[in-house]
């Protein structure tokens, strides 16, 4: 056997389907299995044929249609299960029957109600029956991490004697700690006389959040097969996320000195397919395949990544098939470097804008939104690149009080071109009318509002609203535009924008 290769055993279609709320159809299973074949996993555990005629049919369909990987079916160490597994797998190019049996005292006493001698005989009989059908037999002592280790050694030796070629050590309830699990795997080599005739596998659950860590610990202890599911779906808190194991081995080959034959660029497509068909959403911060796995929000991180991606990325998005167009995420913690890079990506010539003003406007929006997207940036640029004139007045504060009984009141505070501060208040027929009356009182302007429109720049409750207005003055008609998450603020700034244009034309500076 190749001591450097780690075989990848995917159980998305079997243990993954045992997640509460998931029920793959036959067609779903075939589609996922074909993607797993593109991913080039070594073994696909296609299901548990004895559980239902539908699952048997799905496993049989995968066995017929999917070529390349070994196709495995799960079976308890009972004759009917093993017969059903063979019935489902008989047309497979490379079939494997996976036989399991509980070995922990708590399972034997309360679930199986059998003693250790009975369990060993059942293991022997089950593996022997499976071996009569296929040459490739896997045996799992379920709940091995909570079992008496001497009993585990004994039953593993018996299973290998009957023909098991893979010995899987399940941490069925996610109980193990990595250091402990490494020692357990190493101890099997020291205490099972015929272990050289089989490959050791590990199958870890995530109840304590250590499934991937325990799987890697198993590899460090000498295991050369790892079992897991795409996106980590599975019973309770799930299985090992197989994509995490694959990329851990690829990224830290310097430490582990092992490899897989997986086609890494198919990991993200596999993740999205399983997410869609399972209905279980992948969290944004999920390692390897999460939306944020290769996105950077902090200004310090953005600066580093823009200079050299490896400063904050230990693998590339491209290596796992992730889209790469949104690596810079603009939020309130982003810096000027990240903003400038994103504006350049949008085709904005930085020489044509006042970056200082744009950055201030960006920070103002970012303080009120989780994320500033490209449409927000375009709205900001649209407003601030149109200042081809001197700003006579700038907005410092607007405050509005309104009710369904009575007239709204607005207070505005404006700063003139010399830095003087002026404040006044007014009432109006509506909040916008009150604001504009207050601005007129401060500036002494006599403008007539002829057009007013507002539209959403982005989606959601914190979307920016873009306000466009037109005013008539003694010197002509002038348009103003502004965007802000607060429509009343946008309305005020748009009015001042139009008014400043009018004052520039009139020479009132």
| Nearest residue to 452 (alpha-carbon basis) of 429, 479, 430, 434 | 479
3-state secondary structure of 129: helix
Round to whole Å and give the CA distance between 143 and 203: 10
What is the distance between the alpha carbons of residues 62 and 13, in angstroms, rounded to a whole number? 11
Angle between helices 336-345 and 374-384 (to 10 degrees): 90
Q: Is the pLDDT of residue 2 over 70?
A: no
Q: Are 435 and 397 in contact (CB under 8 A)?
A: no
Contact 236, 205 (CB under 8 A): yes
d(CA 439, CA 492): 8
* Cβ atoms of 96 and 71 closer than 8 Å: yes
Query: How far, in Å, CA of 378 to CA of 406, rounded?
Result: 38
What pLDDT score does 70 carry?
Answer: 98
Predicted confidence (pLDDT) at residue 88 exceeds the cutoff of 80: yes
> pLDDT category, 114, cuts 50, 70, 90?
confident
60: pLDDT confidence band, cut at 50, 70 and 90? very high
Closest CA to 380 of 419, 410, 346, 418: 346
Element (H, E) at 152: helix 149-161
Is the CB of residue 400 less than 8 Å from the CB of residue 410? yes
- Predicted confidence (pLDDT) per residue in 232-244, tens digit: 999 999 999 999 9
Looking at residue 1, its pLDDT comes to 47
Stated as kind and residue range, the H or E segment containing 482 is strand 476-484
Of the two residues 114 and 423, the one the predictor is more confident about is 423
Q: Residue 410: is its pLDDT beyond 90?
A: yes
DSSP 383-419: HHTT--S--SEEEEEEEEE--SSS--EEEEEEEETTS
| Of 361 and 395, the one with more pLDDT | 395
pLDDT, mean of residues 180-184: 98
Please provide the distance, in angstroms rounded to a whole number, between the alpha carbons at the two ends of the chain.
86
Residues forming CATH 3.30.160.270 domain(s) in the chain: 393-506
Residue 380's pLDDT is 75
* Residue range 393-506 in CATH 3.60.21.10: no
Of 111-115, 168-172, 324-328, 467-471, the poorest mean pLDDT is in 324-328
d(CA 315, CA 334): 22
Q: What is the mean pLDDT of residues 217-230?
A: 98
How much of the chain is helix, strand and coil, in % rounded to 5?
Answer: 45, 20, 35
In this predicted structure, what is the pLDDT of residue 384?
Answer: 63
The position carrying tokens 């348009």 is: 479
The helix (run of H) or strand (run of E) holding residue 7 is strand 7-10
Identify the pLDDT of residue 350. Answer: 75
Return the axis-axis angle of helices 26-39 and 53-65, rounded to nearest 10°: 40
CATH 3.20.20.70 domain position(s) in the chain: 7-278
Q: What does the pLDDT read at residue 292?
A: 73
205, 168 in Cβ contact below 8 A? no
pLDDT at 239: 96
| Token reading at 250 | 């690829």
Measured CA to CA, the distance from residue 203 to residue 212 in angstroms comes to 10
More confident residue, 262 or 509: 262
Structure-token pair, residue 35: 């993607």
Cα 278 from Cα 24, distance rounded (Å): 7
The overall average pLDDT reported for the chain is 88
How many other C-beta atoms can be found within 10 angstroms of the C-beta atom of residue 220? Answer: 17
Compute the distance between CA of residue 417 and CA of residue 342 in angstroms, rounded to an integer. Answer: 31
Contact 330, 371 (CB under 8 A): yes
499 vs 301, higher pLDDT: 499
The H-or-E segment that residue 200 falls in is strand 199-204
Sheet holding 476-484, edge to edge: 448-456, 465-473, 476-484
Distances (CA, A) of 46 to 17, 160, 469: 10, 24, 62
Q: What is the CA radius of gyration of the chain?
A: 33
pLDDT 10s digits, 304-359: 655 766 665 667 778 788 766 555 667 777 888 778 877 776 556 677 677 888 88
Mean pLDDT lowest among 140-154, 159-173, 306-320, 447-461: 306-320
Q: Are 449 and 464 in contact (CB under 8 A)?
A: no
Asked if 75 contacts 303 with a C-beta cutoff of 8 angstroms, the reply is no
Supply 61's token pair.
């369909």
CB atoms within 10 A of CB 189: 12
Q: Candidates 3.20.20.70, 3.30.2320.30, 1.10.10.60, 3.40.50.2000; correct CATH number of 7-278?
A: 3.20.20.70
Arithmetic mean of pLDDT, 192-208:
97
> DSSP 3-state assignment of 481?
strand
The confidence score (pLDDT) of residue 329 equals 67
SS (H, E, C) 32-45: HHHHHHHHCCCEEE
Provide the pLDDT confidence category of residue 74 given band limits of 50, 70 and 90. very high
Structure tokens at 181: 């699990």
Residue that wins the pLDDT comparison between 233 and 303? 233
User: What letter would DSSP give residue 108?
Assistant: I
Dig out the tokens for 297 from the structure: 């929000």
Taking phi over 0 as left and psi of -120 to 50 as alpha, with beta for the rest, 347 belongs to: left
């Amino acid at each position: 056997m190749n001591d450097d290769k780690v075989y990848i055993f995917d159980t998305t279609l079997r243990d993954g389907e045992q997640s509460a709320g998931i029920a793959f159809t036959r067609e779903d299973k075939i589609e996922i299995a074909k993607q797993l074949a593109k991913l080039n996993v070594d073994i696909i555990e296609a299901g548990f044929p004895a559980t239902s005629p539908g699952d048997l049919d799905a496993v049989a369909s995968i066995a017929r249609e999917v070529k390349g990987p070994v196709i495995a079916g799960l079976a308890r160490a009972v004759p009917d299960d093993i017969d059903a597994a063979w019935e489902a797998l008989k047309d497979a190019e490379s079939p494997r029957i996976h036989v399991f049996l509980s070995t922990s005292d708590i399972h034997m006493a309360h679930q199986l109600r059998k003693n250790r001698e009975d369990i060993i005989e059942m293991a022997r009989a089950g593996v022997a029956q499976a071996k009569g059908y296929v040459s490739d037999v896997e045996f799992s002592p379920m709940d091995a991490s909570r079992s008496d280790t001497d009993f585990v050694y004994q039953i593993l030796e018996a299973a290998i004697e009957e023909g098991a070629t893979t010995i899987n050590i399940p941490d069925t309830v996610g109980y193990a700690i990595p250091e402990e699990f490494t020692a357990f795997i190493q101890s099997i080599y020291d205490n099972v006389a015929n272990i050289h005739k089989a490959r050791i596998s590990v199958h870890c659950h995530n109840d304590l959040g250590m499934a991937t860590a325990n799987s890697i610990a198993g590899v460090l202890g000498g295991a050369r097969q790892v079992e897991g599911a795409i996106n980590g779906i599975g019973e309770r808190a799930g299985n090992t996320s197989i994509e995490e194991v694959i990329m851990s081995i690829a990224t830290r080959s310097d430490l582990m000195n092992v490899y897989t034959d997986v086609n890494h660029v198919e990991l993200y497509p596999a993740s999205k397919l399983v997410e869609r068909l399972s209905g279980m959403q992948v969290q944004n911060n999920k390692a390897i395949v999460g939306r944020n796995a290769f996105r950077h929000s902090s200004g310090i991180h953005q600066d580093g990544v823009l200079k050299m991606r490896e400063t904050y990325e230990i693998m590339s998005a491209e290596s796992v098939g992730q889209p790469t167009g949104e690596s810079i995420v603009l939020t309130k913690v982003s810096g000027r470097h990240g903003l400038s890079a994103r504006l350049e990506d949008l085709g904005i010539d930085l020489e044509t804008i006042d970056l200082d003003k744009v950055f201030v406007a960006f920070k103002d929006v970012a303080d009120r939104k989780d994320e500033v997207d490209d449409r927000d940036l375009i709205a900001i640029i649209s407003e601030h690149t149109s200042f081809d004139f001197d700003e006579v007045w700038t907005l410092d504060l607007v405050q509005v009080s309104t009710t369904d009984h009575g007239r709204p009141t607005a207070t505005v505070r404006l700063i003139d071109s010399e830095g003087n501060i002026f404040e006044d208040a007014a009432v109006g027929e509506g909040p916008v009318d009150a604001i504009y009356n207050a601005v007129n009182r401060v500036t002494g302007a006599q403008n007539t509002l002829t057009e007013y429109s507002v539209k959403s720049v982005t989606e959601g409750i914190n979307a920016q609203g873009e306000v466009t207005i037109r005013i008539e003055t003694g010197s002509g008609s002038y348009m103003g535009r502004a965007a802000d998450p607060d429509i009343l603020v946008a309305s005020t700034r748009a009015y001042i924008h139009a008014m400043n244009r009018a004052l520039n034309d009139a020479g009132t500076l």
